[in-house]
Amino acid sequence: MKLFKYLLCAMLFTSFNSFAQDDVTTEREQGHTNQNKFKQLYEEFSTPNMFRTGSGAPGPGYYQQQADYKMDIEIDDDKAKLYGEETITYTNNSPDELKYLWVQLDQNVRAKDSKTPLISNSVVRPVTTSSNAVTSYLKESFDGGFHIDEVKDVKGKDLAHMINRTMMRVELPKPMQSGDQFSFQIKWWYNINDHVKDGGRSGYEYFEENDNRAYVIAQFYPRMAVYNDVEGWQNSQFWGRDEFALPFGNFDVNITVPADHILDGTGVLTNREEVFTKDMMKRYNKAKKSYDEPVMIVTQDEAEKAEKSKSKKKKTWKLSAKMVRDFGFSTSRKFLWDMMAVKLGDKDVMAVSLYPKEGNPLWEQWSTKAVASTLKSYSRMTFDYPYHKAISVHAKQQGMEYPMICWNYGRPDKKGNYSDRTKYGMISVIIHEVGHNWFPMIINSDERQWTWMDEGLNTFTQYVAEQDFGEWHPGALSPNDKAYPSRRGPAKNIVRYMGGNQDYIAPIMTKGLNTYQFGNNAYSKPATALNILRETIMGRDLFDYSFSEYANRWKFKHPTPEDFFRTMEDASAVDLDWFWRGWFYSTDYTDIGIKEVKKFAVTSTPNESGNRIAKRNNIDPKDLVYFIEEGSEGYDESIKNGVAIDNLPTVKEYIMDNFTPAEQKEMNETPKFFYEVTFNKPGGLVMPLIVEYTYADGTKKRETYPAQIWRLNDKEVSKAIASNKEIVGVMVDPDLETADVDTSNNVWPKEVKESDFDKFKEKVRN
């Protein structure tokens, strides 16, 4: 076998070299720049510096700013208004002098003069619903923007400030030098929106039957913008879709609500014994020791009783959080509340759910268990969850995340019935939103610029966590499902998008606001890319080690895309520039097929090509090994005579002269069949070539040729194959691992009707 491979390579090299010489033309082509798909990403990447190294790790000069908040918040439940006062202490850890500070006013996206509606396309449709007609043409726009009453220093002196839509510039009395701190105060209020009717990432849902609201409150306070080494102030306007970039800091927040409300949010509840009843405290202490089933802190009977009346008294809940980038909370008298402990490493974390009775029985069955499962899966893939709790809040039509708390959809009908779609949808959104605690709440990427860095990485890890959940909780699976039916992650699920109209597809490396098909671009495609990278290209061990290295390098820091790309290569010794370029910087798609398969037989009869080669190299034609292609004169006779390569006199002589007896003994499988398989690549995306060969005896062999096989010819490549068994079928990407958009060219021969191809087509259809 070794001899054959040597001779065959020599033969192919000689013939290809001869072909190249014969094909020289008199007219030379113009030169060109390097357009190779394997070109390194030096032009796309920033030059490493003292802040961010070429390895993808933070550099010796890396810094980040800190913003600490002390807040007093009150919700007027009758008028659905939020009032707040805050003191912000800003620390300048940068080496730069700062003349002013930028503060985000994200609620202004709902201000009456908001320009967000003006950038969206709108048309008059021939028919629409009555509600849509009223909302679009008759209803006055909701005034949900911030009303800033005061901006002062801590001595009560007014600070000059300017509001530009969703950003406010605060002028400093004197420039801040490196290491300086500055404290200032803001007083504000705003009308809370009905997020069910008017949309938005936070707000309230109104329950008409008992005149109650359930609040999910976020972006409720003026928040410091990020200042970093990449672009200085990140003061890009909030248009409503691409989310937030925020610095880390410490929060002390007092929230006053009606006395009969149940409330939870970011941070440690520091006055638990003041706001809990004795029964609630007993149940809470029990929950801290319950690792298998949630413990009800507030029961459904208690919640239903509370929603029938309204207290005129008030209660203040005090929350304190360290090293978080944001703050959110939820409150209502309608809430049931359950908790369960989760063991992570050497500490316990509390998995928590808040939901109105409208969420049951689904939420009581699966919400907190989904939280607990997520904490375990994400900790395994990255690092142990560092906070003391993770909360899932039921909110209609919501899916949004904040440190330690998130809101999630999924509601049964009024009789408590729900479909598989509702159940899986609820579990998946909980996994996704709880997972955002890692991306971007801790691994604090810039969502405003690179949406995929939080949504895509999180959706990939969500897929891993969903599969874990299905394995750990088989009772949650429907009878027909052997594994959790993840919507995003598997390669075949992205095929329709990848092969779609190029006019409406943007590269992943596009600012979130400007992408077409936001869900596919920011969530599905990067998640699929990483899943392919893990399963098909790198392997789980290399990928998981590198992914964890990235997470640990950049937890509680501000990574960029390049930091991720570089770390994945640095920790694995796998050159992935070709992969990042194809999947993240282009809209290329995968289409790899079989162009042709040629069969050859060994013959002892010299041919014309051999005579030319022998003459050119001054050797005896009898010293060459000859191959004859199927369909050529003499092929059938060679097959009939069964000429074996190791029976040729010159081959025997070569073996005797060049191989030891032990090596000769290894040559026990004489190849009888020879093939030249040519694979083509109509698609632009470089991917590994995964091939399954089927033999006449029904056995199969799988071969994965690395993506580098395309490095010298991006259009087609050929592989010479010697086999002691006849090949009757060749299939490219048999398990649909590469998101191939056209599988009609993936099988040879075209007319194959064996059960394997039928199964293959069934995979494609599904």
Q: Are residues 246 and 283 in the same domain?
A: yes
Per-residue model confidence (pLDDT) at position 642: 64
pLDDT in tens, 398-410: 999 999 999 999 9
Cβ–Cβ < 8 Å for 741, 681:
no
Examine residue 698 and state whether it is found in any structural domain, yes or no.
Answer: yes
Which of 206-220, 311-325, 657-671, 677-691 shows the lowest per-residue confidence on average (mean pLDDT)?
657-671
The amino acid at residue 126 is P
Specify the DSSP element, H or E, that contains 702.
strand 700-705
Q: What is the DSSP string of 677-696?
A: EEEE--SS----EEEEEEET
Cβ–Cβ < 8 Å for 498, 415:
no
CA 295 to chain centre: 33
Examine residue 33 and state whether it is found in any structural domain, yes or no.
Answer: no
CA 522 to chain centre: 8
DSSP annotation of 295 reads: E
Per-residue model confidence (pLDDT) at position 336: 98
With 50 as the cut, is the pLDDT of residue 337 above it? yes
> Which domain-ending residue is among 421, 449, 477?
449
Examine residue 55 and state whether it is found in any structural domain, yes or no.
Answer: no
Per-residue model confidence (pLDDT) at position 672: 79
Query: For 588-600, what is the mean pLDDT?
Result: 96
Listed residue (378, 437, 382) closest to 405, CA to CA: 437
Examine residue 240 and state whether it is found in any structural domain, yes or no.
Answer: yes
Q: Are residues 431 and 533 in the same domain?
A: no
- Distance from C-alpha of 565 to C-alpha of 295, rounded to nearest angstrom: 43
| pLDDT bucket at 754, cuts 50 / 70 / 90 | very low
Q: Are residues 754 and 612 in the same domain?
A: yes
Mean pLDDT of the chain: 91
Number of domains in the chain: 3
pLDDT in tens, 540-570: 999 999 999 999 999 999 999 999 999 999 9
Listed residue (197, 206, 202, 188) closest to 78, CA to CA: 206
- Distance from C-alpha of 435 to C-alpha of 674, rounded to nearest angstrom: 52
Q: Are residues 703 and 571 in the same domain?
A: no
Q: Are residues 378 and 438 in the same domain?
A: yes
396 burial via Cβ count (<10 Å: 0-12, 13-18, 19+): middle
pLDDT in tens, 339-377: 999 999 999 999 999 999 999 999 999 999 999 999 999
Cβ–Cβ < 8 Å for 169, 100:
yes
With 70 as the cut, is the pLDDT of residue 572 above it? yes
Query: For 242-259, what is the mean pLDDT?
Result: 96
Examine residue 344 and state whether it is found in any structural domain, yes or no.
Answer: yes
Q: Are residues 501 and 649 in the same domain?
A: no
| pLDDT bucket at 601, cuts 50 / 70 / 90 | confident
With 60 as the cut, is the pLDDT of residue 620 above it? yes
Q: In CATH, what number is assigned to the domain containing residue 575?
A: 1.10.390.10
- Distance from C-alpha of 609 to C-alpha of 14, rounded to nearest angstrom: 10
Cβ–Cβ < 8 Å for 406, 391:
yes
Q: Kindly state the percentage of the chain with pLDDT values over 90.
A: 78
Q: What is the DSSP string of 110-158?
A: GSTT-SGGGGS-----SS--HHHHIIIIISPPP--S-EEEEEEETTS-B
Q: Are residues 582 and 672 in the same domain?
A: no
Per-residue model confidence (pLDDT) at position 582: 97
Query: For 431-441, what is the mean pLDDT?
Result: 98
CA 155 to chain centre: 47
| pLDDT bucket at 647, cuts 50 / 70 / 90 | low
Per-residue model confidence (pLDDT) at position 644: 67
| pLDDT bucket at 29, cuts 50 / 70 / 90 | confident
The amino acid at residue 435 is G
Examine residue 147 and state whether it is found in any structural domain, yes or no.
Answer: yes
pTM of the predicted model as reported, rounded to 2 decimal places: 0.91
Query: For 199-210, what is the mean pLDDT?
Result: 95
CA distances in angstroms from 10 to 77, 678, 717, listed in the order given: 84, 18, 17
Structure tokens at 230: 């990449």
- Distance from C-alpha of 551 to C-alpha of 382, rounded to nearest angstrom: 6
Cβ–Cβ < 8 Å for 754, 729:
yes
Query: For 163-188, what is the mean pLDDT?
Result: 98
pLDDT in tens, 139-148: 777 889 999 9
Examine residue 189 and state whether it is found in any structural domain, yes or no.
Answer: yes
Query: For 169-178, what is the mean pLDDT?
Result: 98
362-381 and 420-435 helices, crossing angle to 10°:
40
| Residue 197 three-state SS | helix
| Residue 205 three-state SS | strand
pLDDT in tens, 523-536: 999 999 999 999 99
Q: What is the DSSP string of 234-290?
A: ------SSS-----BEEEEEEEEEETT-EEEESSEETTHHHHS-HHHHHHHHHHTT-
Per-residue model confidence (pLDDT) at position 344: 96
Listed residue (255, 391, 273, 404) closest to 318, CA to CA: 255
Q: Are residues 454 and 383 in the same domain?
A: no
Cβ–Cβ < 8 Å for 362, 369:
no
Q: Are residues 468 and 353 in the same domain?
A: no
Per-residue model confidence (pLDDT) at position 7: 44
Q: In CATH, what number is assigned to the domain containing residue 366?
A: 2.60.40.1730
> Which domain-ending residue is among 587, 612, 629?
587
Rounded to 5 degrees, φ, ψ at 310 are -125, 125
Contacts of residue 88, Cβ cutoff 8 Å, sequence gap at least 6: 67, 68, 69, 103, 183, 184, 185, 186, 222, 224
Q: Are residues 521 and 606 in the same domain?
A: no
With 90 as the cut, is the pLDDT of residue 226 above it? yes
> Which domain-ending residue is among 399, 431, 449?
449
* Max CA pair span of the chain: 108
| pLDDT bucket at 649, cuts 50 / 70 / 90 | low
293 burial via Cβ count (<10 Å: 0-12, 13-18, 19+): exposed
With 80 as the cut, is the pLDDT of residue 291 above it? yes
Cβ–Cβ < 8 Å for 732, 593:
yes
Structure tokens at 714: 């991006």
Q: Are residues 421 and 525 in the same domain?
A: no
Per-residue model confidence (pLDDT) at position 606: 76
Residue indicated by tokens 């990407």: 733
Query: For 63-80, what is the mean pLDDT?
Result: 98
476: number of Cβ within 10 Å: 18
Examine residue 2 and state whether it is found in any structural domain, yes or no.
Answer: no
Q: Which residue range forms the structural domain that includes residue 763?
A: 592-766
Which of 231-240, 268-277, 643-652 shows the lowest per-residue confidence on average (mean pLDDT)?
643-652
Cβ–Cβ < 8 Å for 739, 491:
yes
Long-range contacts, stretch 120-125, CB < 8 angstroms, 24+ apart: none
- Looking at per-residue pLDDT, the higher value among 766 and 620 belongs to 620
Q: What is the DSSP string of 403-436?
A: TTEEEE-----TTS---HHHHHHHHHHHHHHHHT
Cβ–Cβ < 8 Å for 172, 100:
yes
| Residue 207 three-state SS | strand
Per-residue model confidence (pLDDT) at position 10: 41
Q: Are residues 368 and 511 in the same domain?
A: no
- Distance from C-alpha of 731 to C-alpha of 700, rounded to nearest angstrom: 11
The amino acid at residue 496 is R
pLDDT in tens, 626-639: 788 888 877 777 77
